[in-house]
Structure 1
Amino acid sequence: MSDRLDDLERRIDELRAGVRRAVRARDGAAARRLRAELRAAERSWDALVGGEQPDDAPAARKALPLVTVREQVHQGLRLLGATAQPRLVVAVSEAFLGGTIRSAQLTSLRRDEERSFRSAPFGRPYYLCAALTDRLSPARGLLTLSTWPLERRVVGPLSPRVDFLTCAIAVASHQGAREPADPRAVRLLLRMARNIPGATDTALGPPDPARVVRAARAELAVHAERDTRDRAELARRAERQLDDAARLFGAATLSMIKKEYAT
């Protein structure tokens, strides 16, 4: 129990610091999200210290998640193994990892990560960051992990398709290893399989994970070599032109600078 209390106390301290940073930055959305997580963590701490919850306590409070939104996103991206849109990360977290996050909670997450890095560079074991475009600016709506090499965090012309296929293989592989399959995982795989030639047949019913993997790998083989070359060139440019923060969060464009001044 002492280990769990220590973890919760560290989490509470981190969330309180995050709330203060968000308030100073006048980021209302981030402050509200962090305050909600802080209240949940404090209730979990109270429950752990005081023993069982009262019988009339809401069911949701009896099973409060002890994993932060940030860590749930981290776990989802690690499972997928490639850059991904927030809604896919949320779906994977829910289907395979028991996640409780919502897409709206990810809106300001990358900005929080960048502020944290700039205030204490490399102070965390990992950061959630945006993929980098061919202009070395942050790609809109694509999340990556700082622990991945640059070649995996930049996106060229073919990269969105390559990353989708990579994610589909990961989802199918994880579903194929689980019995019985979670209905949410089945629905997710079906949506992805419909966008891969040869991944489904005309029969009704859930897609065969092994068939999805084969079809995705077949198409991936067509694009992988060219995409690898494009990404390697982008990564070399990023190494030459960007500092540590920009390699993680992208170089600011003129439109981004104007937006910062406007706010």
Structure 2
Amino acid sequence: MSDRLDDLERRIDELRAGVRRAMRVKDTATARTLRAELRGAERTWDALVSTAPADDQKDSEPEPPAPRLVTVREQVHQGLLLLGACAQPRLIVAVGAAFCGGTLRSNQLTSLRRDEERSFKSSPYGRPYYLCAALTDRLSPARGLLAASTWPQARRMVGPLSPRVDFLTCAIAVAEQVTDALIEPGGARLLARMARNIPGAADGDLGPPDPGRVIEAARAELAVHVERDTQDRAELAERATTQLGDTARLFGAATLSTVAKKRITG
């Protein structure tokens, strides 16, 4: 039994390497065939392990405890850290599904920021991190943009160029994940969608975009915008730091429309 498991493990390693090579040269047909064989080998390995006789398993390590359930906020936090920039819920959901084995749905994120704000108000800094809002030039929360509270204030601000800069930053992060990991269909599809919005990243490509090309094209455009955007964010961050209290620095200042709405419904 152990010899067959060893052979299967070596074959699984070979298949994974073969998939990487095929995707690197954009040979999608070979990659698809190898992935199917890889899944079959992994299923065979699982079946052998689960049906191994007691004698083969009596000296093995005890089974590890079942993995802890990852909460919605933890999955969102993982996605934000991977992207490294403020992001819309739909992008966070796509990243979680492609690279983190996530099971998020967009509707689960609808009230998340409000829940985080209530938690912060009831026990300020009681958690290691909070999922907070990106802030506009009015120091109010940017609609639909989430950020991590542990990021510097400037990274959580949104200037005129920030949406484009953050998109390019996220595209680079996704491309780096595709480069470093065994490419799964979800990751390749996400990278392809993002590459279509970056000049020179996927021109004329019929198959999945080359991650290196996406990174190069994104960095080239990023170099055009980043200096001005960094300056704009720094100025906004200084305003936020001097004008806002702890809660508002994370979740934004109330706008006049928000105050009026609270008065009507209060």
Tell me, yes or no, whether TM beats 0.5. Answer: yes
2:238 to 225, 236, 239: 236
Partner of 1:82: 85
Distance 2:165 2:243 in 1: 25
SS at match of 2:144: strand
Partner of 1:250: 252
- Is 1:173–2:176 an aligned residue pair? yes
Partner of 2:207: 205
2:140 to 137, 140, 144: 137
Q: Match for 1:154: what amino acid?
A: M
2:216 to 211, 214, 218: 214
C-alpha deviation, 1:258, in angstroms: 1.9
Q: Match for 1:194: what amino acid?
A: R
Q: Match for 1:128: what amino acid?
A: L
TM-score, normalised relative to structure 2: 0.74
Distance 1:242 1:104 in 2: 30
1:185 to 161, 184, 187: 187
- Over the residues paired in the alignment, what is the CA RMSD in angstroms? 1.2
Distance 1:163 1:64 in 2: 33
Question: Counterparts in 2 of 1:116-127, with a 5 A limit?
Answer: 116-127=119-130
2:105 to 89, 94, 102: 102
Task: Note the alpha carbon deviations across 1:199-220, whole angstroms, 9 max, x for none.
Answer: 0031310000000000000000
Partner of 1:162: 165
Number of equivalences: 200
Distance 1:136 1:201 in 2: 39
Distance 1:66 1:118 in 2: 26
SS at match of 2:145: strand
Distance 1:137 1:127 in 2: 17
C-alpha deviation, 1:178, in angstroms: 1.2
SS at match of 2:220: helix
The structure with the largest alpha-carbon Rg is 2
Partner of 2:56: none
Q: Match for 1:242: what amino acid?
A: L
Q: Match for 2:77: what amino acid?
A: H
SS at match of 1:88: helix
SS at match of 2:215: helix
Distance 1:201 1:225 in 2: 27
Q: Match for 1:140: what amino acid?
A: R
Distance 1:83 1:76 in 2: 10
SS at match of 2:216: helix
TM-score, normalised relative to structure 1: 0.74
Distance 1:207 1:243 in 2: 45
Distance 1:203 1:76 in 2: 27
Task: Note the alpha carbon deviations across 1:16-46, whole angstroms, 9 max, x for none.
Answer: xxxxxxxxxxxxxxxxxxxxxxxxxxxxxxx
C-alpha deviation, 1:64, in angstroms: 9.0
Partner of 1:71: 74
SS at match of 1:207: coil
Partner of 1:93: 96
Distance 1:94 1:208 in 2: 20
